[in-house]
Amino acid sequence: MDKNNQLYTIVENPHYKVLFERLSSNPLITTKADTFYEDSVTTADLLDYKGKKLVFFAGLSSGHERIGLAKFDREDFLNADWHKVSSKLVVDEDLGIQHQIDHVADPAAVEVNQNIYLYYSALSKNGDTICLSQSKDGDHFTNYEANPILPGRAPEVMYYNKIFYLFYVLPTSNEGYNIYLATSKDGYTYNINKIPVLLPTKGSWDSQTVTTPRIIVVNDYFFMLYAGDNETKDDPKHFGLAYSADLMNWVKYDANPVFSRGSKSSWDDRAIWFGTPFSYKDQVYLVYEGSSIAQPEKSEIGLAILRVKDTAVQNNP
């Protein structure tokens, strides 16, 4: 089987079962003293840019969450020593926005004509909003002067057919989240669709909430990895897959969930968020945020790899 088609098999060959498998019992990125992520590491996003792999992630220190950036050689970044990562702060909570911001997190980056559009959640007592920072070189980031872009949180962004597709979540009336979509021609002014593109499924593992969407494109199909839960609003236990040919109409994978929180006493046995899929050397991986029951306020970033099982072969030995 062509490894590039592993996710696509859920569309063309339904008898294949896809799931993600941890590559290590330890986190990939953990907290580091005297940094902006000395207390917690959260919400990673990846972007290929000018021969580099840019890894945006948020971190918590002194009660504030902020967004940083680490750079790697694109062809060798998974072999890098992540404990020696050198990162720089790119978005702080002091944004010059009229309402007070307590935390910034959930980076979602896209490159358009070598310009980086970095969307993120800005969380405040006055409500959650999505804001934008931009860079022309991958080093210097400037916040958009007319922030915020729109209400919501947990953004994901795709640029397709000269249109920005911005996914985000809003709370529901029953203490959960739905996933919504807004579109834009310029990346600044968005047309909001008030109908969710992904909803909880009654009686299922994601019956309470669907949240933290992340998207990868494979063979002209888009695959969304999202977090879901049947008990809590924002402490999801599983990831599911949905797929789309146009970024607007989504179908949930029949064999969801495809990844779950860790076993008891592991570093990610409490909840998982922001499963970010990416391709690397003909294989699909994901980085994700997890937290433990023992230290619920501390998140770390883990790594998993996509596996495909042929259930037809298993059922007919």
When pLDDT is cut at 50, 70 and 90, the band that residue 4 belongs to is low
When pLDDT is cut at 50, 70 and 90, the band that residue 95 belongs to is low
Rounded to the nearest angstrom, the gap between the alpha carbon of residue 185 and the centroid of all alpha carbons in its chain is: 23
- What is d(CA 207, CA 140) in angstroms, rounded to the nearest whole number? 41
Q: What is the pLDDT of residues 25-36, one digit of tens each?
A: 999 999 999 999
**In this structure, what CATH number is given to the domain that contains residue 183?**
2.115.10.20
Residue 110 has pLDDT above 90, yes or no: yes
Average pLDDT, the chain: 91
Percent of the chain whose pLDDT exceeds 70: 94
Q: What does the pLDDT average to over 258-274? A: 97
Residue 135 has pLDDT above 60, yes or no: yes
Domain that holds residue 89: 3-315
Kindly write down the DSSP assignment for every residue of 122-165, as one continuous string. Answer: EEETTEEEEEEEEESSSS--EE-TT---EE-EEEEEEEETTEEE
Specify the number of domains making up the chain: 1
- What is d(CA 181, CA 159) in angstroms, rounded to the nearest whole number? 13
Q: What is the pLDDT of residue 292?
A: 97
Beta partners for 226? 240
Residue 2 has pLDDT above 70, yes or no: no
C-alpha dihedral sign at 308, 311, 314, 317? negative
When pLDDT is cut at 50, 70 and 90, the band that residue 316 belongs to is very low
Q: What does the pLDDT average to over 152-178? A: 97
Tokens matching residue 169: 């979540």
Q: What is the pLDDT of residue 123?
A: 86
C-alpha dihedral sign at 182, 186, 187, 189? negative
Q: What does the pLDDT average to over 185-209? A: 97
When pLDDT is cut at 50, 70 and 90, the band that residue 130 belongs to is very high
Q: What does the pLDDT average to over 212-235? A: 95
When pLDDT is cut at 50, 70 and 90, the band that residue 94 belongs to is low
Q: Which amino acid is at 283?
A: Q
Residue 96 has pLDDT above 70, yes or no: no
User: Among candidates 303, 298, 299, which has minimal Cα distance to 288?
Assistant: 303
Q: What is the pLDDT of residue 97?
A: 53
Q: What is the pLDDT of residue 317?
A: 47
Q: What is the pLDDT of residues 268-306, one digit of tens each?
A: 999 999 999 999 888 899 999 999 999 999 999 999 999
Q: What is the pLDDT of residue 309?
A: 84
Q: Which amino acid is at 166?
A: L
